[in-house]
């Protein structure tokens, strides 16, 4: 089995949310898809350990907000990598209440769906939850965020509870054993020059929590870090722009 084949599947990215006993809960997910047209139903796959899963099962409602292409990294980080028990994920975002009672994200979303749960299926680590769409709306004409763009732009891993999570070691192992013919562009470059350049640049670092890669050549414009800043020169209070982890959680590549 080739794990990288799974990265060829296309997805969007969504904030999936519910409200139970007056409290909002939600997470970021890529696994949401329309499964019937009349009446329209949408399925989501939610990890059993995800606190939101239990709340959706109890409330029997969920909303799906479709994120726009340029969404804030802190929004993605908090909904993707943090628990509602650690932080109030909804404290800084604009929401409105859907007809079912579920919270809908207004900023950073291009459209939303409001759903009533009509059936659930235990599929092992996850629960497949199917909701009938009670209402939906388009918020803006901005381009929606795709999972591929998110992965390419931020060099991100999927959160461990995502249905599409693949251990980094497995992907690295495949990369290491890939045959050279898969990368013909390398053959046209003088290898000695490429190697020399790499030894002169500062190391990149990876966040061990979410997989975000800090590249010194690019800096981190989202956190006000100029291109050309080595990791060692980042301020002590630098935080991962995705999951908010401190510098101690980064590992040199
Ligand atoms: Fe991180």
Q: Are the CB atoms for 97 and 65 separated by under 8 Å?
A: no
Mean pLDDT for the stretch of residues 230-247: 89
Q: How far is the CA of 64 from the centre of ligand 1 (A)?
A: 24
What is the rounded radius of gyration, in angstroms, for the C-alpha atoms of the chain?
Answer: 20
- String of b and e for 63-94 (b: at least 16 CB within 10 Å)? bbbbbbeebebbbbbbbbbbebeeeebbeebe
Q: How far is the CA of 201 from the centre of ligand 1 (A)?
A: 22
What's the predicted TM-score (pTM) here?
A: 0.77
Give the count of beta carbons closer than 10 Å to the beta carbon of residue 10: 9
- Tokens representing 116? 């009533």
The predicted pLDDT at position 190 comes to: 46
The predicted pLDDT at position 195 comes to: 46
Burial class (CB in 10 A: 0-12, 13-18, 19+), 236: exposed
The predicted pLDDT at position 183 comes to: 47
Q: Are the CB atoms for 62 and 15 separated by under 8 Å?
A: no
Q: How far is the CA of 158 from the centre of ligand 1 (A)?
A: 11
151-201: pLDDT as tens digits: 787 666 677 778 877 776 777 788 788 765 554 444 444 444 444 444 566
Q: How far is the CA of 118 from the centre of ligand 1 (A)?
A: 35
Confidence of residue 3 (pLDDT cuts 50, 70, 90): confident
71-122: pLDDT as tens digits: 887 788 888 887 888 778 898 889 999 999 999 999 899 999 999 999 999 9
Q: Which residue has the higher pLDDT, 144 or 179?
A: 144
The predicted pLDDT at position 131 comes to: 98
The predicted pLDDT at position 88 comes to: 87
């Amino acid at each position: 089995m080739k794990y990288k084949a799974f990265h060829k599947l296309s997805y969007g990215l969504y904030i999936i949310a519910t409200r139970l006993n007056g409290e909002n809960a939600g997470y970021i997910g890529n696994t949401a898809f329309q499964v019937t047209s009349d009446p329209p139903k949408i399925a989501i796959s939610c990890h059993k350990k995800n606190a939101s899963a239990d709340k959706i099962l109890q409330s029997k409602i969920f909303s799906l907000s479709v994120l726009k292409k340029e969404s804030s990294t802190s929004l993605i980080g908090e909904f993707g990598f943090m628990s509602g028990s650690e932080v109030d994920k909804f404290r800084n975002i604009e929401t409105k209440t859907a007809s079912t009672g579920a919270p809908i994200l207004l900023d950073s979303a291009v459209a939303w769906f409001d759903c009533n749960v009509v059936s659930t299926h235990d599929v092992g680590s996850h629960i497949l939850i199917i909701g009938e769409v009670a209402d939906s709306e388009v918020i803006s004409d901005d381009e929606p965020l795709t999972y591929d763009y998110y992965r390419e732009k931020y060099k991100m891993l999927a959160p461990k509870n995502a249905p599409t999570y693949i251990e980094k070691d497995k992907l690295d192992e495949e990369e290491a054993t890939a045959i050279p013919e898969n990368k013909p562009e390398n053959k046209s470059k003088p290898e000695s020059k490429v190697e020399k350049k790499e030894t002169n640049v500062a190391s990149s670092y990876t966040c061990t929590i979410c997989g975000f890669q800090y590249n010194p050549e690019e800096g981190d414009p989202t956190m006000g870090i100029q291109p050309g800043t080595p990791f060692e020169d980042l301020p002590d209070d630098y935080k991962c722009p995705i999951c908010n982890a401190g510098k101690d959680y980064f590992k040199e590549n």
